[in-house]
Amino acid sequence: MRHGTSVKFFSAPTTAALFQTPAISPKRASGKQANPKRLRENAEKIVRATSAQHATRPRYPTAGRPAIVSQEWNCQFLHLKLFKHIMAYTLPELPYAYDALEPHVDARTMEIHHTKHHNAYITKVNDALAGTDLASKPVEEVIADLSAVPEDKRGAVRNNGGGHANHSLFWTVMGPGKGGAPSGELASAIDSAFGSFDAMKEKFAAAGATRFGSGWAWLYVSGGELKIGSTANQDSPLMGESVAGIGGTPILGLDVWEHAYYLHYQNRRPDYISAFWNVVDWDAVAARYAAAK
């Protein structure tokens, strides 16, 4: 190699540039999430095309042309960058419109809560898990074993992975035209554990109202039994008692961070909690109970 000749990796398109094309944009202009399968297929096509395009280029420097060091390595690196982006957690679509839960939960709060707060947790947990084997696992599985997370990333994953998991559950246990009372096996389990549905609501409301600062109120399954408790910040029962103070599988959660209610209820957290019962989807909660018990 001639002295002074630089050696560089070939200039492949950056992941950001690739994802600016409509065919593989992770988020369409409408704001809806693109199909992950389609994204993977397009990424594979790009990797194959890039590999074929550069396969005949020289690997060693010539006059006016930098060397390409390990073409295979470069293509694999591009492949990993693409799939790192694709396999990252994404913001789930709500199963209803932002204004669907009014007047109990206002549209502006729902929009900000979903697109700003939840999305921020996703961005941060993706950053924390980038380059680790954990990035391909469901977030619930990751937060259930925080000891497996590198120590320097553990706090970020606890806070932001917890935020992603908690909100993903929260959206699905609410719905327009819901409320009322549970039936069937869940109703019987509630009566057995708490004495009555009203007694369960009272205990759950107290858990949320007395949680100092930010956190969540939970109805969860532990050892086959229904229990009620609360956690601080974005902790989840999935994290276990040693981390969250309670441990089990959550089936109903209520966000009592101020961002969940302040625009509409200001400092009246008990009013927000009372309104929550009008939007609880007991069929969804019952399905979670059946899977968790």
The CA R_g of the chain, rounded to the nearest whole Å, is: 24
Residues of the chain with CATH 3.55.40.20: 184-291
Give the tens place of pLDDT for each residue, 26-60. Answer: 444 344 444 545 555 555 554 455 445 444 444 44
Locate 14 and state its tokens.
Answer: 């950056």
Asked whether residue 288 carries a pLDDT value surpassing 70, the answer given is: yes
Say what the pTM is: 0.73
- Paired with 225 in beta bridges are 222
Distance CA 288, CA 293 (A): 9
Question: Which of the four pLDDT bands, split at 50, 70 and 90, describes residue 88?
Answer: confident
Give 13's contacts (C-beta < 8 A, 6+ positions apart): 46, 50, 78
- Tell me which CATH code domain 107-171 carries: 1.10.287.990
Share the mean pLDDT of the chain.
82
Residues of the chain with CATH 1.10.287.990: 107-171
Q: Tabulate helix, strand, coil % of the chain (nearest 5).
A: 55, 10, 35
Locate 149 and state its tokens.
Answer: 């997370």
The predicted pLDDT at position 45 comes to 54
C-alpha distances (whole Å) from 48 to each of 20, 36, 99, 173 are: 19, 18, 44, 42
Q: What amino acid is encoded at 111 in this protein?
A: E
Give the tens place of pLDDT for each residue, 160-174. Answer: 999 999 999 999 999
* Widest distance between CA atoms in the chain: 85
Question: Which of the four pLDDT bands, split at 50, 70 and 90, describes residue 274?
Answer: very high
Give the CATH H-level superfamily of domain 184-291.
Iron/manganese superoxide dismutase, C-terminal domain (3.55.40.20)
Torsion angle (degrees, nearest 10) of CA 230, 235, 241, 245: -40
Under DSSP, the state recorded for 164 is H
Please return the burial class of 72, using the count of CB atoms within 10 Å of its CB with bins 0-12, 13-18 and 19+. Answer: exposed
End-to-end CA separation in angstroms for the chain: 67
Percentage above 90 pLDDT, the chain? 69
Percentage above 70 pLDDT, the chain? 70
DSSP string, 193-222: HHSSHHHHHHHHHHHHHT--SSEEEEEEEE
Ranking 42-56, 173-187, 194-208, 244-258 by mean pLDDT, the lowest is 42-56
